[in-house]
Chain A
Amino acid sequence: MREKDISKLLTDEYSERILVATQVHPKSVQEISDKFDIPIAACYRKIHELEGAGFLRCAEIVTTPKGKTMKLYSSLLKSAHLVYEDGVFRVKFEFDGQKDISGKWIELNAAPAPAPIA
C-alpha cells in the first residue's frame, strides 16, 4: 500500500473509530459496529483493510455460547503524526512491534516550486 493511501485510510471516519475502539481491549467486529455506529458490512471491510495495512491484528479467536467462532481485533497503531510545513506533507506512524515504516517521517507529495505572488 502506498503511503498516501495509508494516510487516507487512517483519517477515514470509520477507520478512525475502529482504531480508537480497539486501542485498549480487543473487540469483535459486531461489538465495534454496535458501539461505534458503523454499518456491519463497512465495518468488516474497513477492518480487513486495516488488517491488511498492518494497523490491526486479530488478537484472539473466541467461541460464542452459540458455538460460533468470533475474532477479536486489537489496534497495533500507537501514534500517528501528520505535519504540513512549508508546503510539504509528512507523516509518521508508530506501531507495536516491528514494522519498517514505524517511526520514520514519510514525505508525501510536495508543492511544485511556488510562483511569486504578484
Chain B
Amino acid sequence: MGFERVENNGFDGSVAENDMSPLQASQLLTDEYSAKILLATYKRRISAQEISQRYGIPIAACYRKIRTLEEAGLIQCVDRILTQKGKRKNLYTSNLRNAYIFFEGGRLRARFQLATGVVKDFGGDWNGMDLLRQ
C-alpha cells in the first residue's frame, strides 16, 4: 500500500503547508466533475474536449474545473499538441497518486500525495498515520 512508501521516504521534509482549508481541499476531490477529471487524467494524457465528451461534463465547467485542479497542483498540462485543424490542444495528466480525507471527532483533515513525492496536508496533525489500518 502507498503508505509504506511514504513512511520510508521520511515525508517530514517534503510536507508542504497550504493555505487551503481542509474543507476546500476535500471539495476538490468530492466534487462530481473534479472527481471525474481526476479519474480521466489518471495515468494518461487527455484533452479537455475529450474529458468533456467521455465523462459528460459541460465544456465550460470542464475547463473551469481543470483550471482549479491545475492551480491546486493536482493535474498538469504535459503537452500542447497541434490538431488537424491547426488549433493547439492541451493534454493533461493527473499528479495525484493518493488522497485521504478523514472526518473524525468533529474535525476534517485532508492529505494529498503527489506523483512528485510532495505531500500536502490540510487541517494539521497527520502524525497518526496508523488510522488507516483500523
A interface residues (Cβ-Cβ under 8 A, vs B): 4, 7-8, 10-11, 13, 16, 19-20, 23-24, 77-87, 89, 108-112, 114-118
Supplied contacts A81-B102, A85-B99, A114-B44, 7 more A-B pairs, CB within 8 Å: A4-B32, A11-B26, A79-B104, A82-B101, A86-B2, A109-B39, A111-B40
Known: A84-B29, A84-B99. A24 touches B42 (CB 8 A): no
Complex CA distance for A87 and B125, rounded to whole angstroms: 25
Interface residues on B, range: 20 to 34
**Contacting pair B106 A81 (CB below 8 A):** no
Contact B44 A115 (CB under 8 A): yes
- State whether A83 and B104 are in contact (beta carbons under 8 Å apart), knowing that A8-B30, A115-B44 are contacts in the complex: no
Q: Is the CB of B102 within 8 A of A11?
A: no
- A sample of 15 inter-chain contacts (CB < 8 A) reads A4-B32, A11-B23, A11-B29, A16-B23, A16-B108, A23-B105, A24-B106, A79-B102, A82-B99, A83-B132, A84-B29, A84-B38, A85-B99, A87-B39, A117-B44
CB within 8 Å of A: which of B71-107? 93, 96-107
Query: Is B64 close to A, CB under 8 A?
Result: no
A118, B106: Cα distance in complex, Å = 44
- Are A82 and B44 in contact (CB-based, < 8 A)? no
Residue of A nearest to B103 (CB): A80
Which residues of chain A come closer than 8 Å to B35, judged between CB atoms? 89, 108-109
